[in-house]
Amino acid sequence: MTNDVSVKPDEAKPAARAEATLLPPVDVIEDAQGITLYADLPGVPKDKVTLHVEDDTLSIEGEVALPVPEGMQASHAEVQLPRYRRVFQLSKELDADKVSAELNHGVLKLRIPKAEHAQPRKVEIRVG
């Protein structure tokens, strides 16, 4: 991934909520048309995922919803924090207005295309 077109973790920004959150692992893949970001959000249903794009900042939040049968409680729970949160700084080469998202089996897939001015283009050569 080049430095011109990037998605950089921006964990220095203050969290929107004061509670502690899990940091979901992500993979970022760049191609000629843009970036695909995969975030692991196990236990988070679609209606508990929130995506915000503001200026050049992308925020991913999710709330774990693991049902426990009524009258029972977990005897062992390794996941103590019920929320995920991750913030990224988007490069100006990406078109933040055209972000698309899909959640499948606990993996959030975001597609962020490059802005038109950053897309590769073929230059026509004229005979003159």
What is the token pair recorded at 118?
């950053």
Q: What span, in angstroms and rounded, lies between the C-alpha atoms of 23 and 25?
A: 6
Instruction: Output the domain CATH number for residue 111.
Output: 2.60.40.790
Asked if the structure places residue 51 within a domain, the reply is yes
Residue 123: inside a domain, yes or no? no
pLDDT tens track for 62-90: 999 877 789 988 788 777 778 999 999 99
Number of domains in the chain: 1
pLDDT mean over 25-41: 95
Q: pTM of the entire structure?
A: 0.76
Residue 62 sits in which domain range?
2-9+24-66+79-117
DSSP 25-62: -EEEEEETTEEEEEEE-TT--GGGEEEEEETTEEEEEE
The predicted model gives 86-105 an average pLDDT of 94
Q: How many residues does the chain have?
A: 128
